[in-house]
Chain A
Amino acid sequence: MKKTIPGPSKIIAGIPPSGIRAFFDLVLGMKDVISLGVGEPDFVTPWAIRESAIYSLEHGYTSYTSNWGIKELRKAISRFLNQRHGMEYDCEKEVLITVGVSEATDLVLRAILNPGDEIMIPDPCFVSYGPLTVLAGGKPVFIPTSLETGFKMSPALIRKSLTSRTKAILINYPSNPTGASYSKSELLKIAAIARERNLLVISDEIYDELTYDGEHTAFPSLPGMKERTVYLNGFSKAYAMTGWRIGYACGPSDIIAAMMKIHQYSMMCVSITSQFAALEALRGGLKEAQEMKKEYLRRRNFIVEELNRLGLACHNPEGAFYVFPSVKKTGMSGVEFATKLLKREKVAVVPGIAFSPRAADHLRFSYATAFGDIREALRRIEHFLSSKD
């Protein structure tokens, strides 16, 4: 009998590969592309933060740290959350430093899910939520959202999808990819469901500092929500620290302890250099982020108006740096549109299908790109739309 060498597990085989890998490869292989496809800020980490990381290296801080993360940093996070959102987290047992919100998402799902437990997830959503739920043995239950409702989860639809296996609602606002966010009154309706049905809430608020219309309300700051919410945030977007891979999770001590158990075996701790950099970020405040926010707001206004003028219907996203227009009217699918646009006009955007099969008619435009480039990209899109095949 012929022996075959063992391959990947069935669990992994059950996760479909990203359908647009080929498109990504096409973009990365092309030169001189104007990219509206980028999921990170367009400024480098402020110098004071970089300098502080260099200083820590010069002074020989190159060791492991506590699995939880250095205590000074946890304290600083706890203080910051208190000042900014009025939330009280005990830095000894309710704060865990993670390798970005990405690791934190993985940890919380693995920490709370029993086989077959269900998680409510907005759809479209960030690429990792579904696969990480499956890897953790759970079942993602997608709550459809649409352009018409500004891509917000409707409480009625959440209620309709509840089962006895529902364990948590995952919410991400402002959202990647849609830019949608929620007002306090909208959040209170979701909180009411969580309370009534005794559910946990996983709240990914990595884009919170980029909220343009109204104030951002942190989910755990809502009455009675702290004890049932795992709050995920980090430094990538507000301080332009994507490459440092550092974030944190705050929540009930039993869940954070469970997450910590996984983290200590799989990750040990976050890079000490990144932890010192993050500490400096909190000390230095949000000055740069707030300057960038003003600039992002102008770009958002411009791009929303222009896309609607060009007939690519999009809503007015409340936050993050994405718009999520529909290309349905052009008769092309998102992938077809994006591929042709790339080849003919050298403008890169991300097809919506990357974020949901329901968003096949959409595109994600990132405006974390210089105003002049956005203007030029829109000119090219106008040219693209007016020229025949």
Chain B
Amino acid sequence: MDEILAMLEKDARLTPEEIAKAIRKPVLEVRKKIKDYEKRGIILKYKTVLNREVLEENPNGVRALIEVKVAPEKDRGFDHLAERIYSFSEVTSCYLLSGTYDLLLVVEGKDIHTISHFVASKLSPLENVRGTVTHFLLKKYKEDGDILRQVQKSNRPAISY
């Protein structure tokens, strides 16, 4: 991966000037490249990663992982049905998997009832959805490489040889 992307993926607040200094490239070139990545949709957006395990309040309420078994459609495979499913705003992630089921959804709702309602009235009735299994998420330990707990202070001495 390009160094600019590697740096921004770790810290989206880095300025083009700082990146330029760190990789010893002209600022103009770095700026141009970032613009280009944005245009091509390689950089999708810049957002803040919240640690909800510490925040202790979750505006999104409850999360569930839902396994979905579907019947693929002639000529269109899974993509069309996947689109009908992931277009619901409750669905925050949607993956096609190999194995005993086909789609894995991450669904957010304000409480258990909202999610049950989504499954019963929106997801299950869809034609070609053969079955669902809903797992409510109890606790997150690690997400996208970040360990979600109170930040621990380093115990390195502040000064050493």
Contacts and interface: CB of A to CB of B under 8 A. Distances in A.
Interface of A: 24, 27-28, 30, 33, 35, 37-40, 42, 126-127, 176, 294, 298-299, 301-302, 305-306, 348, 350, 354, 371-372, 375
A42 to B, nearest CB: 7
Interface string B8-34: 000100100010011110000000000
Given A298-B22, A305-B21, A372 B160 contact: no
Contacts of A38: 156-160
B71 interface: no
B18 to A, nearest CB: 7
A310 to B, nearest CB: 12
Contacts of B154: 42
A354 B18 CA distance: 31
Contacts of B24: 301, 305
Nearest to B3: A298
A23 to B, nearest CB: 8
B141 interface: no
Contacts, number: 53
Contact of A301 (B21, B157, B158): B21
A354 B159 CA distance: 12
B94 to A, nearest CB: 30
13 contacts: A28-B158, A37-B160, A38-B159, A42-B156, A299-B22, A305-B21, A305-B24, A306-B21, A348-B158, A350-B159, A371-B11, A372-B11, A375-B18
B133 interface: no
A371 B22 CA distance: 10
Nearest 9 CB-CB pairings of A with B: A37-B159, A298-B22, A35-B158, A39-B160, A302-B22, A27-B159, A305-B21, A302-B21, A39-B161
B120 interface: no
A24 B22 contact: no
Interface string B134-161: 0000000000000000000010111111
A209 B66 CA distance: 45
A363 to B, nearest CB: 12
B7 interface: yes
Contacts of A33: 158
Given A298-B3, A371-B11, A372-B11, A28 B159 contact: yes
B119 to A, nearest CB: 37
Contacts of B161: 39, 126-127, 176, 350, 354
Nearest to B160: A39
B159 A301 contact: no
A381 to B, nearest CB: 15
A35 B159 CA distance: 7
Contacts of A37: 158-160
Nearest to A27: B159
Nearest to B13: A372
A129 to B, nearest CB: 12
B154 to A, nearest CB: 7
B23 A298 contact: yes
Given A30-B158, A35-B158, A371-B11, 10 more contacts: A24-B159, A27-B158, A28-B158, A37-B159, A126-B161, A302-B18, A302-B21, A305-B24, A348-B158, A371-B14
Contacts of A27: 158-159
Contacts of A305: 21, 24
Q: Which of A30, A302, A354: most chain B CB closer than 10 A?
A: A302
Nearest to A34: B158
Contacts of B22: 298-299, 301-302, 371
Contacts of A39: 160-161
Nearest to A126: B161
Contact of A40 (B11, B21, B156): B156
A48 to B, nearest CB: 16
A90 B62 CA distance: 61
A348 B21 CA distance: 23
Interface in B21-78: 21-24
Nearest to A26: B159
A124 B7 CA distance: 34
Contacts of B14: 371
Contacts of B21: 301-302, 305-306
Nearest to A31: B158
B116 to A, nearest CB: 38
Contacts of B160: 37-40
Contacts of A348: 158-159
Nearest to B152: A44
A176 B161 CA distance: 8
Nearest to A128: B161
Nearest to A24: B159
A379 B29 CA distance: 24
